[in-house]
Amino acid sequence: MLLVAENISFGFPEKLVLRKISFDVRRGEIISLLGPNGSGKTTLLKTLLGLYPLDTGRVLFQGRAISTIQQKALARDIAYVPQIHRASFAYRVIDVVLMGRIPHKTFFSRFSPEDMDIALAALDKLSILHLRDRPYTRISGGERQLTLIARAMTQGATTFVMDEPANGLDYGNQIKLLESLLDLGEDGYTFIKSTHFPDHALWVADRVIMLKDGSIIADGTPDSVITSENLFTLYGREVDVHSLRESFKVCIPRKIGTCRCAHT
C-alpha cells in the first residue's frame, strides 16, 4: 500500500476538524475528496503531507510513519500542488518548473543541464513547452496550474496532493486540466485531490471519498458513491445523477433541471 491513514484526528482548541479518518491509497489511483466548505478537505490533505501534528492515529507512506520522514526526502516522492495562485515576481515558466529540482540540490548547487532536461520534458509532457520563456504572471490560470503540475513532475514525485486544482479556472481550462490528469494517471502517477465538482470526480477518479463535518460518510467507486442520496446528505440539495452514455454520468440539480428554461 502506498499511503495509509489510520484513525487520524486533528483539531484546534476551539474545533475538532478531522474525526478518526481511515483510508488507504494504492499506487496509480486517482482519488477525489468531495465535501462542502469546512468539511476538512484541505486539513486532511495537509495531515497527509505531515504538515499538521495529529491528535490521534498516524499516516504511513510506503510503510513508514510520515512524521519520521524529513520533508526534503518526502518531497522527492510526494508533491503538493496548491490552488491556483498569482506569483509576486515575473519568473519565467521554466524557472518556476526548475524550482521542482530544489529537493535534489544542496543550498549552493546550481541547476544542471540534466535538471533543465527534466524540466523541459515535464513541460512537453503537459503540452506547454511553448510557454517556457513566458512570464508566469502573464499566462492564463489553466496554464499556471499546468505549470505547477510540471514543477511537481520535475520534483521527481509520482504522488501528487492537489487542493482544488480546478478552482478559478474557466470551463476550457478545467477540461484541459482533467485531460492532463487522466494522461498522467495512465502513466502511473497517483493523485489525491479535493474538488467542489461532483462531475469532475465522476469523470476523473478511481475512488471518491466524501467528507462532512470532519468524518468520512462514503468511500468507494464514483458510481457507487456519487448518488442523489449522498449528494443530498453532503450539500443539502436535491441533485439527480444521469447517464448520458455507457460509463459517463453527469450531475443535474433537480430544481434547475426542471426550470422554465428547460421547456423553451
Which CATH superfamily, name and number, covers 3-221?
P-loop containing nucleotide triphosphate hydrolases (3.40.50.300)
Q: What is the pLDDT of residue 109?
A: 83
3 state SS of 247 = coil
In this structure, the strands spanning 30-34 and 207-212 are: parallel
Residue numbers in the chain where pLDDT is lower than 50: none
What's the pLDDT score for residue 100?
94
| Cβ pair 210, 218 in contact under 8 A | yes
How far apart are the C-alpha atoms of 88 and 10, rounded to whole Å? 32
Rg (CA), the chain: 19
Whether the model clears a pTM of 0.95, i.e. scores above it, the answer is no
pLDDT for res 12: 87
Grid cell of 125 as nine digits: 509532457
> How high is the pLDDT of residue 87?
63
CA–chain centroid gap for 144, Å, is: 15
In contact, 199 and 250? CB cutoff 8 Å: yes
Q: Indicate the domain borders of the chain.
A: 3-221
Q: Return the residue matching grid coordinates 521527481.
A: 156
pLDDT of residue 261: 55
How far apart CA 6 and CA 60 sit, in angstroms, is 8
Sign of CA dihedral 233, 45, 220, 146: positive
| Cell matching residue 114 | 540534466
* pLDDT at residue 49, as a whole number: 93
Q: Which residue has the cell 501534528?
A: 53
Rounded-to-integer distance, Cα 258 and Cα 57, Å: 46
